[in-house]
């Protein structure tokens, strides 16, 4: 089951940088095991060529797409789980009581209050996209 949570695209930069570092580190370690120092330098030069960088970018792009899909799926499931259900949201996130009370005005749940709550929930679930 996919974890249900708001969208967090800040992780994308971390994933991209980690992937690039891991790939370069793996290649450097392989080269160190097989070659002497001068040959390692040649391998490093090769790694920094345009075609190799392009291949790394393609791999990083694929990993980012996969991570973005996962993040969007989690955000959608988060939104759908709590849409029209402020009491469930409050049960799971009691620290948000003030925000929920603001939209529900401490009164019985009305259609207008639910619409406002759902708009707030949508902005919460997709805040990283909406801030761009």
pLDDT means per 10 residues in the chain (132 residues)? 62 62 69 68 67 70 81 90 91 88 68 86 85 60
Name the residue range of residue 70's domain: 1-76
Structure tokens at 35: 């070659």
| Same domain (yes/no): 59, 90 | no
Of 42, 59, 76, which one is at a domain's C-terminal end? 76
| Same domain (yes/no): 7, 55 | yes
Give residues with Cβ within 8 angstroms of 127, minimum separation 6: 6, 7
Predicted TM-score (pTM) of the model is 0.58
The helices-and-strands tally (H runs, E runs) of the chain is 7, 0
| pLDDT reported for residue 26 | 72
| Same domain (yes/no): 39, 67 | yes
Give the number of domains in the chain. 2
| Same domain (yes/no): 72, 21 | yes
Of the candidates 105, 117, 15, 11, the residue with the CA atom closest to the CA atom of residue 59: 15
| pLDDT reported for residue 72 | 86
| Same domain (yes/no): 91, 132 | yes
| Same domain (yes/no): 32, 71 | yes
């Amino acid at each position: 089951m996919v974890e249900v949570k708001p969208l967090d695209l800040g992780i994308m930069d971390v994933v991209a940088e980690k992937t690039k570092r891991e790939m370069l580190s793996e290649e450097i370690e392989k080269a160190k095991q097989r070659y002497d120092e001068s040959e390692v330098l040649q391998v490093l030069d090769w790694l920094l060529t345009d075609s190799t960088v392009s291949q790394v970018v393609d791999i990083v792009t694929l990993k980012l797409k996969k991570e973005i899909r996962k993040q969007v799926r989690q955000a959608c499931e988060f939104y759908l789980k709590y849409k029209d259900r402020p009491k469930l949201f409050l049960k799971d996130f009691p620290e948000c009581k003030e925000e929920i009370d603001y939209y529900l005005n401490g009164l019985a749940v009305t259609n207008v209050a639910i619409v406002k709550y759902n708009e707030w929930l949508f902005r919460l679930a997709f805040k990283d996209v909406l801030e761009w």
